[in-house]
Amino acid sequence: MDDIGTRGTEAQAVRDSVLTMAVEAWRFGRVFERLLGRLDASETKRYRNQFNWFMKKVDESLTQAGLRIVNVEGQSFDPGMAATPLNIEEFEASDVLVVDQMLEPIIMGEEGIVRTGTVTLRKAET
């Protein structure tokens, strides 16, 4: 493999690593949020500030790599959405659906969708 091909492969490996770290940080954030809900109010503020700082650093790193996390929770579900619904078979074709929970985030890059997300759905409240 030539030098340019090697650099391209290395750059892709770095990008894949950044993507993996971003997804895992996002997942950890979901668990951490649930944990914060169980703490005293006095402890919650301190830990939430530390967590917010950490997520800010993750977002800054993603931005430097030309990437961003997209959260579609609470939005109307569209079959063309860049997310795989795990529970779509629980609903009728005529049901109006909303993204209930994101299990894996959607990651967008400058060129478009880099990684599709995974979601669960619920019927829209009418």
Tens of pLDDT, residue by residue over 32-80, are: 999 998 988 888 988 999 999 999 999 999 999 899 999 999 999 999 9
CA dist., res. 54 & res. 39, Å (int): 19
CA dist., res. 26 & res. 55, Å (int): 8
81: confidence class by pLDDT, cuts 50, 70, 90: very high
- Phi/psi of residue 98, nearest 5 degrees: -130, 145
Tell me the CA distances in angstroms from 10 to 6, 67, 110, one per residue in order. Answer: 6, 18, 19
**CATH T-level fold of 66-126:** Nucleotide Exchange Factor Grpe; Chain A, domain 2 (2.30.22)
List CB contacts of 73: < 8 A, sequence separation 6 or more. 99, 100, 101, 102, 119
CA dist., res. 123 & res. 56, Å (int): 33
**Lowest-confidence range among 10-14, 25-29, 76-80, 106-110?**
10-14
CA angle 62, 49, 107 (to 5 degrees): 20
Annotated domain spans of the chain:
1-65, 66-126
Note the pTM of the prediction, 2 decimals.
Answer: 0.80
CA dist., res. 102 & res. 121, Å (int): 9
- The H or E element that residue 58 is part of is helix 41-64
CA dist., res. 111 & res. 98, Å (int): 27
